[in-house]
Amino acid sequence: QKLQRSFEHIDPEAVGNRRNLLVSEMAGRTAILNRIMRIDPSVTKFSPITEQIISKIKELEYHGYQFETALASVDVLIQKELGRMKEYFTLRHFKIIGEQNEDGVDRLASALVKIRVGDRDEITAAEGMGPVHALDRALRKALEVFYPSLAKVRLIDYKVRVMTPEDATAAIVRVLIESTDGENVWTTVGASPDIIEASWKALVDSMEYKLLKDEQKA
C-alpha cells in the first residue's frame, strides 16, 4: 500500500471526492486491487480472483482495450469475474443495413436487434443517422420493454481510435462511449477490427452498468 500523502496534496474525502486510481497497462496491482475491493472488500492481493482479474484486463488491453477512463467497463468486468453480476440480457443476433443516395446527401442506417431476457425474446428495429446510432436505438428499444429506466440513458460522446494503423482498413479500433441518465455520467470501451462490434461491446457495457447501478440502489 503506497503512502497516500506522497501523491495527494489533500484528502479527497475532505472536499467531497473519492480516490480513483487509474486502471491501465501501466497500473500496478494496487490500482486494480483498489477497484476490486470497492466491490468486494473481502478480496486481497493474495486472492486467486485478483490475479484472474488482472490477467483478464491485461489480455483485453493487448487486444486494443484501454481502461483508464472507461471505469464503468472495469466495474462490469470485475462484477462478472467475481460472479456477482446477473445476466440482464443476451444477444441473439443483430443486422445493420446502410443506405446512401447518389449525391451522398441522405444517409440512413437501420438496425434489427434480437435479444433474450430470461426465457423471452424481443426483436426490434430502428433507424438512425449511421449504423452505430441505429444500433444504439434498436438495442435500447428492445431493452426498455424489460427495463424502462434505460429510456433515460443517452449517449453524449463517442470516440474512435485506430490502434493498428499498419493494418489499414483491417485495423483494430477502440471505441469509447460516454453515457448519462441525467444524473450520472459513465464511460465504457470496446475494441475490435470491426467498428460495429467494438461499438456494440461498449454499448452493452453501458447498458449493463446502468442496470447494475439501478439494482444496487433498489
Model confidence pLDDT, tens digit, residues 93-126: 999 998 776 666 667 899 999 999 999 999 999 9
Q: Is residue 64 domain-resident?
A: yes
- Report the alpha-carbon distance of residue 51 to residue 115 in Å, rounded: 32
Residue corresponding to grid cell 461498449: 202
Q: What is the pLDDT of residues 168-208, one digit of tens each?
A: 989 999 999 999 999 999 999 999 999 999 999 999 999 99
Q: What is the pLDDT of residue 169?
A: 86
| 136 occurs within a structural domain | yes
> Could you tell me what percentage of the chain is helix, strand and coil, using 3-state DSSP and rounding each to the nearest 5?
40, 25, 35
Say which CATH number the domain at 122 has: 3.30.160
12 assigned to some structural domain: yes
Domain hosting residue 36, numbered range: 4-81
Domain stop point among 146, 168, 193: 146
Taking alpha carbons only, the member of 111, 85, 33, 65 closest to residue 207 is 85
CB contact at 8 A, 150 and 210 = yes
Determine, yes or no, domain membership for 30.
Answer: yes
User: Could you tell me if 72 and 102 lie in one domain?
Assistant: no
Query: Looking at 127, 146, 165, which one is the last position of a domain?
Result: 146
Q: What is the pTM of this model?
A: 0.84
Portion of the chain with pLDDT greater than 90, in percent: 72
